[in-house]
Chains A and B, each alone.
Chain A
Amino acid sequence: MSHRTTNHADKPPSDVDIELRMLVEAVYLKYNYDFRDYTGASQKRRVLAAMRVMECETVSSLQARVMHDAAAFAQLLQYLTIPVTEMFRDPDYYQAIRRHVVPFLETYPSLKLWVAGCSTGEEVYSLAILLKEEGLLERTLIYATDINPESLEAARRGVMPLERMRHYTENYQKAGGRHAFSDYYTAAYGGALFDRSLVEHVTFADHSLATDSVFAETHFISCRNVMIYFNRRLQNRVLGLFHESLVHRGFLGLGSKESIDFSSYAQRFEPLARRERVFRKVGA
């Protein structure tokens, strides 16, 4: 690298950087949530946002609070995780699943799908709708996992904000939806309550991509905009989990700006729909 890079890399960590490292270390030791391999810039912004809301002047004082108050940690956890998602986000992705993955899935008598980092469930419901329309939902078991218990609870409830429905309807149509999107929800509990039959075969479970291991063999894993928050070491760990979980020639879907090119698994998945980020496990 150039001399400039070296010079800047010598820059000592700032006080906030030191405090942030101590905070995630403390959270790991005390609560066993591992954020140590999350990328720094985004994590810093989210911790600073938590500090403002929780009225802590410094990261260190925030650390002291969450160390001695589990409720404060639960509050901080909502910032350390990133529950921002939408239904049928990137409609082209769902089109690609219909076109390139479904024909293979149809050949299996029973299917297991893993939505890793499912957050508040938008992707789970989207995929369930797609599978239903393709006639595959009945034979599919979906594992929807996340580390945030509040997000998992919201996902289980399946109530989305009504004001998002117009946007989601547009996405659904662009994603190749075959019905009226409103067929899948009713207005209830101050929101749009999604059809319970969609999640009849969904297991919502607490699972950490950073610390837990593979729990099932799966045919298709969808993990979108989760690994962008991880550094390369953790990305490699997660791709290792996925590679292990997937059946021979199984399918992996990532977020539209995510890449495996820089990972140690670059050769072990092949692009099936490169632009839409749908990959397939390379045969042994």
Chain B
Amino acid sequence: MAARDDDALRRALHEALRGRRIGAVVIGGSAGSVDALIQLLPALPAGFGLPVFCILHLPPDRDSRLAELFDERLPVPVREAADKEAIVPGTVYFAGPGYHLSVERDFTFSLSCEPPVHFARPAIDVLMESSADAYGAGLAGILLTGANHDGAEGMAHIRATGGFTVVQDPRDAQVAVMPQEAIRRCNPHLVLPLARIGMLLPMLETEKS
């Protein structure tokens, strides 16, 4: 029964992705999102071909060990995004604390220390908007649990530039505020519980399927 549900869901997800060529994935979250990523990112298969940008709200003065933590657990390379670094497909990047992270039009990262956006630096909006400018319709944006409005603007920008938008179901989120605001602002293509976003993740590499 469960298997048949999964098949039906997979078909529905394929349908939602029909005609798309995804080039990069950006995932944002705040309160509760470390747990959410621990649940979600292991869905990435070895050899996954897209770059994935992860951005969580973090305390500003602390060294983040997130990249190290996930590098040990995932079958794909994980690291903290560095200034002027060229984006390598198949790598998971984390935004470090204390700086905004952007993607440039030449597919390199850049850091900046402009003021926080929605009290956050790094801000999800900043990464999502710049990624959308760089990848256009080839960007998939995923917004998870959180207690703040950061990310809603970024998701709306991804939607406006033709990208694919997925928001965690607020009923499934540890804190519903962030996904709720994003749903209100961007009218996402899909609203899914975390487990189903995990099923979707490998399918985003549309050119493989």
A residues contacting B by CB (< 8 A) are 2, 4-5, 7-9, 11, 13-14, 17, 39-42, 44-46, 82, 84-85, 225, 228-229, 231-232, 235, 255-259, 262
Contacts and interface: CB of A to CB of B under 8 A. Distances in A.
A39 B102 CA distance: 10
Which 8 residue pairs are nearest across A and B when measured between Cβ atoms?
Answer: A41-B102, A41-B130, A42-B112, A39-B110, A4-B23, A228-B111, A225-B113, A262-B84
A42 B110 contact: yes
Given A40-B104, A84-B113, A229-B112, A8 B84 contact: no
A262 B84 CA distance: 8
Interface residues of B, number: 33
Given A41-B133, A84-B115, A229-B112, A259 B84 contact: yes
A7 B84 contact: no
Contact of B84 (A45, A46, A232, A256): A232
20 contacts: A2-B49, A4-B138, A4-B207, A5-B107, A8-B135, A9-B107, A11-B136, A40-B104, A41-B102, A41-B103, A41-B104, A41-B110, A42-B102, A45-B114, A82-B112, A228-B112, A229-B110, A255-B113, A257-B98, A259-B84
B101 to A, nearest CB: 9
Given A8-B23, A41-B104, A2 B114 contact: no
Interface string B130-141: 100111101000
Contacts of A2: 49, 89
B114 A228 contact: no
A210 B136 CA distance: 31
Nearest to A48: B129
The secondary structure that dominates the B interface is loop
B171 interface: no
Interface in B113-171: 113-115, 126, 129-130, 133-136, 138
A88 B113 CA distance: 15
B57 interface: no
The residue among B84, B106, B136 with the most chain A CB atoms within 10 A of its own CB is: B84
Nearest to A16: B133
Contacts of B82: 257, 259
A232 B99 CA distance: 19
Interface string B75-101: 000000011110001000000101110
Nearest to B89: A2
Contacts of B113: 82, 84-85, 225, 228, 255
B65 interface: no
B105 interface: yes
A39 B107 CA distance: 12
Contacts of A257: 82-83, 96, 98-99, 111
A8 B114 contact: no
Nearest to B102: A41
Contacts of A82: 112-114
Given A8-B23, A14-B133, A262-B84, A42 B114 contact: yes
Nearest to A261: B82
Nearest to A4: B23
A42 B23 contact: no
Given A41-B133, A225-B113, A228-B112, A7 B99 contact: no
A261 B21 CA distance: 33
A228 B96 contact: no
Contacts of B134: 8
Contacts of B89: 2, 4-5
A17 B135 CA distance: 14
Nearest to A91: B61
B131 to A, nearest CB: 9
B83 A228 contact: yes
Interface in B49-87: 49, 82-85
Given A225-B113, A228-B111, A262 B85 contact: yes
A8 B110 contact: no
Contacts of B136: 8, 11
